[in-house]
Structure 1
Amino acid sequence: MIGRRVGRRASAPGGPPRVPDARPPVPERTGRQAARHTAPVPDSLDAELATLTDEEQAADSPSPQPAAGAPEGRQQPALDLLIWDAPNIDMTLSTVIGARPTAASRPRFDAIAAWFVEGAGDPSTPGAADVEACVFANIPPQPGTLQRWVEALRGFGYSVFARPKSQPDDDIDQDMLDHIAVRAHSHRLRRLVVFSGDGRNFAEPLEQLVREGTQVVVVAFSEVAGYAISSELLEFIDIEDVPGAFVEPLDRVRLDALPPDGAWLRPTRSLRDFVSSFTARRDR
């Protein structure tokens, strides 16, 4: 079972994650949840299961391995799951480019969706996994243009978990871990792709999933994803290596991809400006 932890890590080449061994196909799910635009927000895995009917719980509960010759359909459905930590990716993007992100420097969710689905394999082949992509976001009291952003994500096929941000330290890490736990219970979680550089809360739970048989890929910026790069269990991909993720190359020089002759890293702040502020603080 996944719980909140303190830590995280990973490492792997760029390009789509490898497709694990084929699993049984995922039956299409129907019911009241499929018809709703805004789903209820459970506080825990138990709360999620409490909303299911007896039949749904029976379908989602782990079943014993079928006896020889039993139909493959009796196994849990396979799932490839993408989790996007919007606050973390936005903050770390600002860090690596040394400026506030613009429309041109923000990641393209349409290209990322295409890359993720391609990595899941041909859906028409026997044993193909279902795919689900979820974006988790904190919404400030005055959302501004976030309404259009959320609607665009939904149009690209992403589910969006939106939590109001009323305090500076409000976070959604536990909501992400809870959702992963729910899916790990209801499905055979074949591949988990986590877009986040936050190793404090994710490293240990993600590594535990690998030990239990899930392929886990962390996608983030190499400058801030040491937990993933150094892990012996997790795979790591720099987000800029996802094909089409950015319209133009980001204004950054990656220390993990320096040119053979080296590179100059220009300052992100004027030397005089820094000394001026430093002197003012020192003289207080």
Structure 2
Amino acid sequence: MGTHEFIHNYSESSAAIEQPETLLLVWDAPNIDMGLGAILGGRPTAAFRPRFDAIGRWLLGHSAKLSEELGSRIEPEATVFTNIPQGGADVMRPWVEALRNVGFAVFAKPKVGEDSDVDPDMLAHIKRRFNEGILHGVIVASADGQNFRELLETLVREGIPATVIGFHEHASWAVGHPSITFLDLEEIPGVFREPLPRISLDNLPTEGAWLQPFRPLSALLSAR
């Protein structure tokens, strides 16, 4: 059953819930971290962690613009989806609490294997809001956004504006998409304390540059 059919079948069997019209942001924390790590060549430090207060202000401005375009009040809703590794609760607790203090909901899931990724939970949340009849825009923050492509294209056909926030190095499909808006994360004002040290084949320094692998070579062993 395709995404389009799933949405319509689900919608027809669900009663609309009285909730505000919503501009939904889902933030794929593991994938954003992967993209940042690839750009930085290592684990992101505090200087290169996204500032969620800046993201929140951008989202408020975007929802106000959408409200004006549609002639009705659109409320922003933002959720960060993340995995909690075994033994990592104490390390991640301050970050999760900081997100909640800014105004972001957090969906946290223990990381116990490859099947515990949060991608299915993000897709289910987007579909849930659509089927409730309150979704008037969706924004997916993910380094590449590839896992969301089919659903976002279906929503666009249903008249729901869709945006991907990510890194142009990884999300070439979204950069040139005819009906999905792409925004590079670094273009959001104030989102990073320092400019990202971005190097691509299009802007190589004359002395050359090291391009780090996207994942360790040992990952090939688990893929067999």
In which range does the TM-score fall when normalised by the shorter chain? Answer: 0.7 to 0.9
Larger relative contact order (CA 8 Å, sep ≥ 6) = 1
Q: Does 1:228 align with 2:174?
A: yes
1:132-171 equivalent positions in 2, closer than 5 A: 132-143=77-88, 144-171=90-117
Match of 1:90 in 2: 33
Which aligned runs of 4 or more in structure 1 are off by greater than 6 angstroms?
122-126
- Structure-1 separation of matches of 2:72 and 2:121: 29
Identity percentage over the alignment? Answer: 45
Asked if structure 2 preserves the Cα contact closer than 8 Å seen for 1:77 and 1:187, the reply is no
Q: Which range moves more in the overlay, 114-123 or 243-252? A: 114-123
The 3-state SS of whatever aligns with 2:139 is strand
Contact kept, 8 Å, 1:79 with 1:187, in 2: the verdict is no
Is the CA contact (8 Å cut-off) linking 1:136 and 1:161 kept in structure 2? yes
Name the CA distance, whole Å, in 2 between partners of 1:180 and 1:85.
13
Counterpart of 2:151 in structure 1 is: 205
Q: Is the 8 A contact 1:82 1:133 kept in 2?
A: yes
Following superposition, the deviation at residue 226 of structure 1 comes to 1.6
CA distance in structure 2 between the aligned counterparts of 1:267 and 1:210, rounded to whole angstroms: 39
Corresponding residue SS for 1:267: coil
**Structure 1: gaps spanning 5 or more residues:** 5-44, 47-56, 62-75, 270-276, 278-284
For 1:180 and 1:168, locate their aligned partners in 2 and report how far apart those are by CA, in whole Å. 22
| Partner residue in 1 for 2:222 | none
2:72 maps to which residue?
127
| d(CA) in 2 for partners of 1:60, 1:254 | 47
Alpha carbons 1:3, 1:177 under 8 Å: kept? no
Counterpart check, 1:116 vs 2:59: yes
Contact persistence 1:222–1:238 (CA under 8 A) = yes
Aligned residue runs from structure 1 range 98-113, under 5 A: 98-113=41-56
Could you tell me the TM-score, scaled by structure 1's length? 0.64
**Gap change, CA 1:226 and 1:188, over 3 Å in 2:** same
- Per the alignment, residue 181 of structure 1 pairs with 127
* 1:60 counterpart (10, 13, 17): 17
> RMSD of the TM alignment (CA)?
3.0
Q: Distance in 2 between matches of 1:246 and 1:102?
A: 11
Aligned residue type for 1:202:
F
**Residue aligned with 1:209, SS:** helix
- Kept in 2, the 8 Å contact 1:104–1:248? The answer is yes
Deviations 1:80-116 (CA, angstroms, capped at 9, x unpaired)? 1101000000011000121210011111111011101
Q: Is residue 144–residue 166 contact of structure 2 (8 Å, CA) maintained in 1?
A: no
Q: Summarize the Cα distance change of 1:218–1:2 in structure 2 as closer, same or farther, 3 Å threshold.
A: farther
Cα gap change, 1:248 to 1:2, in 2 (>3 Å): farther
Relative to structure 1, the CA distance from residue 177 to residue 266 in structure 2 (aligned partners, 3 Å threshold; closer, same or farther) is same
Q: Flag the 1:231–1:124 CA change in 2: closer, same or farther, 3 A.
A: closer
Q: Larger C-alpha radius of gyration, 1 or 2?
A: 1
Cα offsets for 1:126-155 (capped at 9, x unmatched):
621111000000111111420111000000
Task: Kindly indicate whether the alpha-carbon contact (under 8 Å) linking 2:144 and 2:167 is maintained by their aligned counterparts in 1.
Answer: no
Is the Cα–Cα contact under 8 Å of residues 222 and 254 in structure 1 kept in the other structure?
no
Amino acid aligned to 1:136: F
- Greater helix fraction, Structure 1 or Structure 2: 2
- The CA distance in 2 between the partners of 1:255 and 1:187, in whole Å, is 44
Q: Does 1:249 align with 2:195?
A: yes
Deviation (angstroms), 1:169: 4.8
User: For 1:114 and 1:224, how far apart are their aligned partners in 2?
Assistant: 25
Tell me the secondary structure at the aligned position of residue 222 of structure 1: coil
Cα distance change of structure 1 residues 225 and 130 upon mapping to structure 2, 3 Å threshold: same
